[in-house]
Structure 1
Amino acid sequence: MADIILEARNINKYFHDPVDVKVLSDITFSVNKGEFVAVTGKSGCGKSTLLYILSTMDTDYEGELLIDNISMVNKPEPALARVRNEKIGFVFQFHYLLNEFSVLHNVMLPGLKLNRYPEQEVEHRAIEKLNMLGIEKLAHKKANQLSGGEKQRVAIARALINDPCIIMGDEPTGNLDKKNSEIVFDIFKRLAEEYQQTLLIVTHDQEFASRTHRIIQMEDGKILL
């Protein structure tokens, strides 16, 4: 039986502004280890709202969320922050690299924050991730010296540094041209198929979504079967 990495059970979400508006309705699905899943749908369908809940950033919802078979409901914020750092790798549309630091230091930051390994070991692991993505030559460049495609690959290396259970992406190719979008897609596919890395990616890009293992299609706050 496949290991379930992430499970959403009957998740409902309301915005209270000023009246209650239901924005997610009975969201139920699971993602298995090594699965590469795309969440798609038109703007305003609720996919980014759902990602905020799945990433434990938003705790104001009904239902249950399990990550690595542990319920996230009623966990205090420091415990959720640790889950985010330890079990989830994030790749956003904008890379959020720190320009004043080298590529290597940017990749190391979540590992230093987790404090599971000494600094030397975190550095070794960061170099491994850069090697894995074919960008080890960039290690000592400052982040602001990179192209957009290179920055996004560095952001993926950073997301991998703590060996997360799942990588969550919010429009990770939204800012890239076709060639760099292709490079990012190929990296994700290789992570899933060679390294059994689980990926859940919110995307508008239908071509990107069509080549993942599975599409979760959303409309009006619901999952279409």
Structure 2
Amino acid sequence: MNEVVLEARHISKSFHDPVTLPILKDISFTIKKGEFVSITGKSGCGKSTLLYILSTMDTDYDGELFIEQENMKGKTENQLAYVRNAKIGFVFQFHYLIHEFTVIENVMLPGLKLGAHSEEEVRQRAIDQLRALDIHMLANKKANLISGGEKQRVAIARALINSPSIVLCDEPTGNLDKANSEIVFKIFKHLTRERQQTILVVTHDQEFAANTHRIIEMEDGKIVQK
């Protein structure tokens, strides 16, 4: 697979409060379709700042970001919001489910927001994702009534609902015990192998990172291994 899904070209960023402090320094790399890549490094090395830029939520940087060969620089906020909803799936350390909603309602939300399919089709897609993650039996349960590990699987299903080009994950196992961390890892591995889903994970978990296809290691705002 040679199709480049995400490319960072010479991305740099500084904070200016009150003195100029470089956070990211000339970051360049590519991620291809079906790759399962981890970004590692000590706290404060710039991992989360980089992920925020790659997600298109931070536009104040030097350099260029391409998603599916399309330059994100110069796009309006509405255009970027569309990219985030249609082409990027998000999985965070905390699941950010709406507790008053059922599991299936949570999974459907990004699909309804995108508006590319009817509500009936979005519901069916949500059921398909839940079934693929073996949690379809939870579909009609309120989100506050399921376990932490189940919540994270629901969050993964939600991230996949719009068939994104890439799933960006910020410490997705950081709030889970070892058994549930292993379940999440196996899900990601399966998604890359069976669906050619591209996944980029920021993680402190060295064991998790060691089993991904490739590690991008950061130190003091720079890439030291890719």
TM-score by length of 1: 0.99
How well do the aligned residues superpose, as a CA RMSD in angstroms? 0.5
Gaps of 5+ in 2: none
| Equivalent residue number for residue 194 of structure 1 | 194
> 2:69 maps to which residue?
69
- Counterparts of 1:110 and 1:64 in 2: how far apart (Å)? 26
Q: Once the 2 structures are TM-superposed, how far is the Cα of residue 205 of structure 1 from its aligned partner?
A: 0.1
CA distance in 2 between partners of 1:197 and 1:69 (Å): 17
Q: How does 1:1-225 map to 2 (within 5 A)?
A: 2-225=2-225
Matches of 1:68 and 1:100, distance apart in 2: 36
* Structure 1 segments (4+ residues) deviating >2 Å: none
Rounded Cα–Cα distance in structure 2 between residues aligned with 1:21 and 1:195: 41
Distance 1:202 1:57 in 2: 16
Count of equivalent residues: 225
Q: What SS does the aligned partner of 2:141 have?
A: coil
Letter paired with 1:188: F
Query: 2-side partners of 1:68 and 1:150: how far apart?
Result: 31
Deviations 1:82-119 (A, max 9, x none): 00000000000000000000000000000000000000
Alpha-carbon shift at residue 196 of structure 1 (Å):
0.1
Q: Which secondary structure does the structure 1 equivalent of 2:185 belong to?
A: helix
What percent identity do the matched residue pairs reach?
A: 68
Residue-by-residue CA offset, 1:33-74 (whole Å, 9 max, x unaligned):
000000000000000000000000000000000001100001
AA aligned opposite 1:98: I
Counterparts of 2:218 and 2:45 in 1: how far apart (Å)?
6
Q: Describe the SS at the equivalent of 2:10.
A: strand
SS in 2 for 1:45: coil
Distance, in Å, in 1 between the alignment partners of 2:55 and 2:163 is 16
Whole-angstrom distance in 2 between the partners of 1:79 and 1:20: 30
- The letter of the residue matching 2:188 is F
Superposition deviation, residue 19 in structure 1 = 1.1
The residue type equivalent to 2:4 in the other structure is: I
